């Protein structure tokens, strides 16, 4: 398997990213109001940045923050903005109203078909996770904040990685820019797969979402934040040193006008519907094969400094099965206290060794035709014993039908 791995990676990574794009868009329709025109609570504008995971007994004072980023999230997610917003005119266009209709309908279906079941499953099946475990490490996740949040809404630090580029948000947005309408159409197109199968297809996402006014992963992440009832407070950009390691000190994070075109990651500050805590999402555009992972010492430190750690992955192209990603796999097994994954993550032979309490859900069927080498005979044995497998109320990943999907959780002993 390993001698052809480098050629397989090129084929796999694009599929994984598209898988993610699809998932992200599926969840974009999470409409929880009775109105046909979703409107989020209006907030005032300011210039201060959110910089810490600040927890308060009272609600955050949103007037301290510049709500421009939240307005962008609303527009992309199909929510109206205040009439005083510089983006209000966008919401008056026919293209945007069609966009809103698309997301309202698709998200409602996604909520009913997948998200409600994920939320119920997470509340019941992950209740034995330590409530102090508030960091989710999601390699190969790309911009898939949606599933990270649906499975772990109580986390306050999300660390996502993918090969998809970051790119800066536009500093000025002209509501009459024709590329905006094209982007909304492309966004809907990419999300159609996500809304039916719960994963992204990298090639299509790269094609649809890397042209025009908005590019890269940040717009997709913001869309998901709006659709999961979160409020975006600030966005900072991450650069690297000469060795390619990420610069992660607060003083090293940059605003859009400072980052220019050199951003290799970003930090998005946001708060949930309770608005009592500033949370962080980190996204890193980075290869994680052994040689590259060895140079990401600051990223590794970010992960290990925020224990207890939850490892999460799905639609991961089975990359953790091979030796090219063996160092990342060893890092996860050493530092994670909890894991939630499909069979595309860490092979069960590394988990059924006495170090983990494992629980399995759903059905195991051989991998889809793109990954014939990733079949796990020992996993088939586990799933052949009905007493060891619990019901899975939703479908996810490449085997997206409910009757064919699997997921597993692990707690380190």
Lowest mean per-residue pLDDT among 53-57, 129-133, 392-396: 53-57
Residue 106 CA to residue 241 CA, distance in Å, equals: 42
Q: What pLDDT does residue 186 have?
A: 80
Domain assignment present for 300: yes
Query: What are the CA-CA distances from residue 340 to residues 72, 239, 297, 378, 381 (Å)?
Result: 31, 30, 24, 18, 20
pLDDT surpassing 70 at residue 230: yes
pLDDT surpassing 70 at residue 23: no
- How large is the average pLDDT for residues 219-248? 95
Contact 74, 81 (CB under 8 A): yes
pLDDT surpassing 70 at residue 161: yes
Residue 19, classed as helix, strand or coil, is helix
For 90-111, letters b (16+ CB in 10 Å) and e give bbeeeebeebbebbbebbeebb
- How large is the average pLDDT for residues 107-136? 96
Q: What pLDDT does residue 158 have?
A: 98
| pLDDT tens per residue across span 183-201 | 888 888 777 776 667 666 6
Contact 304, 335 (CB under 8 A): yes
Q: What pLDDT does residue 208 have?
A: 58
> Whose CA is closest to 200, among 176, 182, 177, 223?
223
Residue 335 is inside which H or E element, if any? helix 326-335
Burial class (CB in 10 A: 0-12, 13-18, 19+), 183: buried
Burial class (CB in 10 A: 0-12, 13-18, 19+), 6: exposed
| pLDDT tens per residue across span 401-412 | 999 999 999 999
Domain count, the chain: 1
pLDDT surpassing 70 at residue 149: yes
Domain assignment present for 370: no
Residue 228 CA to residue 40 CA, distance in Å, equals: 11
Lowest mean per-residue pLDDT among 50-59, 273-282, 289-298, 307-316: 50-59
> Whose CA is closest to 244, among 296, 193, 174?
296
Domain assignment present for 378: no
- How large is the average pLDDT for residues 176-183? 84
Domain assignment present for 248: yes
pLDDT surpassing 70 at residue 54: no
Contact 18, 203 (CB under 8 A): yes
Residue 272 CA to residue 323 CA, distance in Å, equals: 39
Domain assignment present for 351: no
| pLDDT tens per residue across span 296-337 | 999 999 999 999 999 999 999 999 999 999 999 999 999 999
The fraction of the chain above a pLDDT of 70, given in percent, is 81
Instruction: Name the one residue in this structure whose structure tokens are 């659709």.
Output: 227
Residue 328 is inside which H or E element, if any? helix 326-335
- When pLDDT is cut at 50, 70 and 90, the band that residue 18 belongs to is very low
| pLDDT tens per residue across span 363-373 | 999 999 999 99
Q: What pLDDT does residue 56 have?
A: 57
Range of the domain at 188: 2-48+60-341
Q: What pLDDT does residue 310 have?
A: 98
**Sheet of 406-412, strand order:** 231-238, 265-271, 279-285, 157-162, 135-138, 309-313, 336-341, 406-412, 356-362, 389-390
For 354-392, letters b (16+ CB in 10 Å) and e give eebeeebbbbbbebeeebeebebeebeebbeeeeebeeb
Mean pLDDT, the chain, integer: 86
The fraction of the chain above a pLDDT of 90, given in percent, is 66
- When pLDDT is cut at 50, 70 and 90, the band that residue 50 belongs to is low
Q: What pLDDT does residue 262 have?
A: 78
Domain assignment present for 360: no
pLDDT surpassing 50 at residue 32: no
Instruction: Name the one residue in this structure whose structure tokens are 């992204």.
Output: 200
Contact 409, 340 (CB under 8 A): yes
Domain assignment present for 380: no
Q: Tokens in use for 384?
A: 């052949």
Phi, psi of 39 (to 5 degrees): -130, 125
Q: What pLDDT does residue 388 have?
A: 92
Q: What pLDDT does residue 11 have?
A: 46
pTM value?
A: 0.85
Domain assignment present for 398: no
């Amino acid at each position: 398997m390993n001698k052809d791995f480098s050629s397989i990676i090129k084929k796999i990574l694009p599929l994984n990213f598209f898988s993610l794009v699809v998932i992200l868009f599926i969840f974009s329709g999470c409409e929880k109001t009775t109105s046909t025109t979703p409107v989020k609570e209006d907030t005032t504008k300011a210039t201060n940045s959110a910089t810490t995971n600040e927890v308060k007994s009272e609600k955050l004072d949103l007037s301290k923050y510049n709500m421009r980023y939240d307005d962008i999230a609303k527009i992309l997610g199909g929510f109206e903005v205040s009439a005083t917003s510089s983006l209000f005119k966008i919401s008056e266009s026919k293209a945007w109203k069609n966009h809103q209709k698309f997301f309202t309908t698709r998200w409602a279906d996604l909520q009913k078909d997948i998200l409600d079941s994920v939320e119920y499953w997470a509340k019941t099946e992950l209740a034995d996770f330590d409530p102090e475990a508030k960091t989710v490490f999601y390699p190969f996740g790309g911009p898939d904040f949606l599933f990270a949040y649906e499975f772990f809404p109580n986390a306050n630090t999300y660390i996502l990685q993918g090969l998809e580029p970051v790119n800066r948000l536009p500093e000025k947005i002209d509501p009459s820019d024709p590329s905006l309408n094209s982007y909304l159409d492309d966004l809907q197109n990419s999300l159609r797969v996500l809304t039916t199968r719960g994963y992204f297809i990298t090639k299509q996402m790269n094609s649809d979402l890397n042209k025009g006014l908005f590019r890269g992963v940040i717009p997709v992440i913001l869309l998901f934040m709006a659709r999961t009832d979160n409020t975006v407070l600030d966005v900072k950009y991450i650069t690297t040193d000469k060795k390619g390691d990420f610069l992660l000190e607060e003083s090293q994070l940059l605003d859009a006008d400072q980052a220019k075109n050199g951003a290799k990651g970003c930090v998005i500050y946001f708060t949930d519907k309770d608005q009592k805590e500033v949370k962080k999402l980190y996204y890193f555009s980075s290869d994680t094969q052994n040689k590259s992972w060895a140079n990401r010492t600051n990223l590794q430190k970010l992960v290990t400094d925020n224990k207890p750690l939850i490892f999460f992955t799905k639609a991961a192209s089975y990359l953790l099965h091979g030796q090219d990603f063996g160092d990342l796999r060893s890092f996860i097994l050493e530092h994670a206290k909890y894991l939630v994954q499909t069979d595309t993550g860490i092979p069960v032979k590394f988990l059924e060794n006495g170090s983990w309490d494992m629980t399995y859900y759903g059905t195991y069927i051989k991998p889809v035709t793109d990954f014939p080498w990733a079949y796990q005979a020992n996993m088939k044995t586990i799933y052949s014993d009905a007493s060891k497998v619990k019901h899975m109320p939703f479908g996810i990943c490449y085997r997206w039908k409910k009757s064919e999907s699997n997921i597993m959780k692990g707690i380190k002993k």
